[in-house]
Amino acid sequence: MAKKVKKKDLGLGIRALIQNDEQVAEIKTEPVEEITAGIAMVQIKDIHANPNQPRREFDDEPLQELASSIKIHGIIQPLTLRKEDNDSYQIISGERRFRASQLAGLTQVPAYIRVANDQEVMEMALIENIQREDLNPLEVAFTYARLMKEFDLTHEKLAERVGKKRSTVSNFMRLLELPPTVQHALKQQEISTGHAKALQGLRTIDDQLYILNKVINNGLSVRDTESLVRQKITGSSAASGNTKSKASTLPSEYQDIRKNLKSHLGTIVDIKLKGKEKGAIVINFSSVDELNRILDIIED
């Protein structure tokens, strides 16, 4: 397992993924001015963002605050860039600093210039953001999934590459199995990863959404949520006979349709049959925002 990198050693930890100094890119092109060993001043116009950047959201207010700080103090931590064939540079890490520098009106920024393949770029960007705690849990999970898929990595191999325990990687990956509504709540910090993990113990989407609403509306702690989940499981087990009898009234093919709709829409869906060929689909929502989210999914 990779050695855990302390936050103060962040830059060194990221660059350690590049195996030796021979991989440092040439920085003698006209637009670049070398200011110290390994660091250069690069024209902002020659820099572009990485489309595979793990971080997807940049809040405007903190970005403006960083831009104001940069105007006064400059950039404290250089960006890390990958030089491309056409003398342009792709961001490996530091897109937030890059955006703030644009807002601050800078024309050039300090940067480490590195040679890296696509996998190394994704790993370095992920590691920096995780260590700086800049990513929400779903952004981490999506990046793990992408690394595993695109570079054929197992949970264990990925854990070695990013310096995490295998169980940590697996727990993040399980977040992607949650219904969209629960994922949205996690993304918006309405619930924590601990809450989400507790909800994963429930068997049905209906139960997960029921407990989720209680957590949000009542501000329940993780411990309270775990207790509520246990009570729900116990109650469900006691009433399993009635539940099975009720479910059996709906033909299996309609049960599959209902299950798929619940998963896709991330909300409670009922199918009510009226005779052999007629019926109704009932889509439940708990707020106008949730209704709009469901409508967006349907329209897409």
Which residue among 177, 196, 230 closes a domain? 177
Instruction: Check whether residue 129 and residue 142 sit in a common domain.
Output: no
Q: How many CB atoms lie within 10 A of CB 158?
A: 21
Instruction: Check whether residue 58 and residue 110 sit in a common domain.
Output: yes
Q: What is the pLDDT of residue 46?
A: 92
Share of the chain above pLDDT 90, in %: 13
**Window from 85-94, 124-133, 267-276 with minimum mean pLDDT:** 124-133
Which residue among 83, 102, 134 closes a domain? 134
Q: Is residue 82 part of a domain?
A: yes
Q: Is 61 a catalytic residue?
A: no
Which residue among 177, 205, 228 closes a domain? 177
Instruction: Check whether residue 109 and residue 47 sit in a common domain.
Output: yes
- Look up residue 239 and give its DSSP letter: T
At residue 286 the predicted structure's pLDDT band, cuts being 50, 70 and 90, is: low
Q: Is residue 158 part of a domain?
A: yes
Instruction: Check whether residue 20 and residue 87 sit in a common domain.
Output: yes
Instruction: Check whether residue 93 and residue 111 sit in a common domain.
Output: yes
Q: Is residue 72 part of a domain?
A: yes
Active-site residue, from 30, 33, 84, 95: 95
Q: What is the pLDDT of residue 236?
A: 60
Q: What is the pLDDT of residue 238?
A: 52
Residue with tokens 């403006």: 64
At residue 212 the predicted structure's pLDDT band, cuts being 50, 70 and 90, is: very high
Instruction: Check whether residue 64 and residue 169 sit in a common domain.
Output: no
Mean pLDDT (whole number) for 8-32: 41
Helix axes 155-162, 137-150, angle to 10 degrees: 120
Look up the domain containing 277 and give its range: 248-299
Question: In the chain, how many domains are there?
Answer: 3
Q: Is residue 116 part of a domain?
A: yes
Condensed to tens digits (0 to 9), the pLDDT of residues 131-187 reads 555 678 888 888 888 878 877 888 888 888 778 888 888 888 889 889 889 998 998
Greater model confidence, 108 or 19: 108
Share of the chain above pLDDT 70, in %: 77
**Window from 27-41, 140-154, 219-233 with minimum mean pLDDT:** 27-41
Specify the CATH number for the domain of residue 25: 3.90.1530.10
Asked whether residue 14 carries a pLDDT value surpassing 70, the answer given is: no
* Average predicted confidence (pLDDT) for the chain: 77
Condensed to tens digits (0 to 9), the pLDDT of residues 251-283 reads 888 888 888 888 777 777 888 888 777 888 888
Q: What is the pLDDT of residue 47?
A: 93
Q: Is residue 206 part of a domain?
A: no
Asked whether residue 6 carries a pLDDT value surpassing 60, the answer given is: no
Distance separating alpha carbons of residues 290 and 300, to the nearest angstrom: 15
Q: Is residue 259 part of a domain?
A: yes
Greater model confidence, 109 or 86: 109
Q: Is residue 278 part of a domain?
A: yes
Greater model confidence, 163 or 229: 229
Whether residue 82 contacts residue 104, with contact meaning beta carbons closer than 8 Å, is answered with no
Instruction: Check whether residue 78 and residue 153 sit in a common domain.
Output: no
Instruction: Check whether residue 11 and residue 113 sit in a common domain.
Output: yes
Q: What are phi and psi of 123, to 5 degrees?
A: -65, -45
Sign of CA dihedral 93, 94, 99, 105: negative
Instruction: Check whether residue 62 and residue 155 sit in a common domain.
Output: no
Distance separating alpha carbons of residues 260 and 262, to the nearest angstrom: 5
Judge if pTM exceeds 0.85: no
Instruction: Check whether residue 122 and residue 153 sit in a common domain.
Output: no
Q: Is residue 157 part of a domain?
A: yes
Instruction: Check whether residue 18 and residue 125 sit in a common domain.
Output: yes
Instruction: Check whether residue 118 and residue 56 sit in a common domain.
Output: yes
